[in-house]
Structure 1
Amino acid sequence: MTNLQRLQLEVKGITLSQEELSIYLMEADLNPHQEYNPQSSTSKRSIYCAALSILESIANNPSNMKNYKEDDMSVSDFAENIQSRIDQLERKIRTMKRDESDSNFFMLFNS
């Protein structure tokens, strides 16, 4: 499975071209056609960052913020639902462990 295919799994139901998805992956420092490594925390974190960028782009479209009603089905509160998902992804990204090469702390004081 490539990084592009993994991102498509993460944003299932959102229709974007492969070129658009590739741009989001490249912005997250991933090669779209490279093999996805599920053991790499950095890879997984980058996929989630790309998905977060996609959701934020969708949330920036004001025409999506309306309530829709069609026959017996209604889609309401889109803005609250997408913001809730964005918050969940941000929280997940912040709490994810990083690979050994990444540092999980910073130096507050330097002598």
Structure 2
Amino acid sequence: MTNLQRLMLEIKGIDLDQNELAVYLAENNLNPHDEYNPQSATNKRNIYKTALSILESIANNPSLMRSYKLDDMTVTDFHENLLNRIDQLERKIRSMKTDEENQQGNVFMLFNS
């Protein structure tokens, strides 16, 4: 599985051109055609950061902030739910470690001479 395919799994239901997805991946230090390494914490974190960037781009679209009515259903909470998902992803990314942090222990210096 490539990084591009892994990103497409993460953003199911969002239709973007593969060239656009490649730009998002490149902005987060990922090559779209490189093999996805699920054991790499940095690689996984960058995939989530890319998905976050895509969601933020969608949230910046003012046409999506209005209410939609289809038959007898009204979709008014789309933008609010999108912002909630963005907040969830931000919290998840902040709590994830990178490969460098995984190699180090859980030690920090409280006092420094």
Q: If the length of structure 2 is used for normalisation, what is the TM-score?
A: 0.87
1:38 aligns with 2:26: no
Paired AA for residue 46 in structure 1: N
Alignment of 1:89 with 2:93, yes or no, is no
Deviating beyond 2 angstroms after TM superposition, the runs of 4 or more aligned structure 1 residues are 100-111
Instruction: Specify the alignment match of 1:69 in structure 2.
Output: 69
Question: Is residue 87 of structure 2 the alignment partner of residue 49 of structure 1?
Answer: no
Partner residue, 1:100: 100
Larger radius of gyration: 2
Letter in 1 for 2:13: G
- SS of the residue 2:83 aligns to: helix
Structure 1: gaps (5+ residues):
none
- List runs of 5+ in structure 2 lacking aligned partners: none
Question: What is the identity, as a one-letter code, of the residue corresponding to 1:96?
Answer: M
Equivalent position SS for 2:34: coil
Q: 1:106 to 1:86 in 2, by over 3 A?
A: farther
Q: How many residues align?
A: 111
Identity %: 71
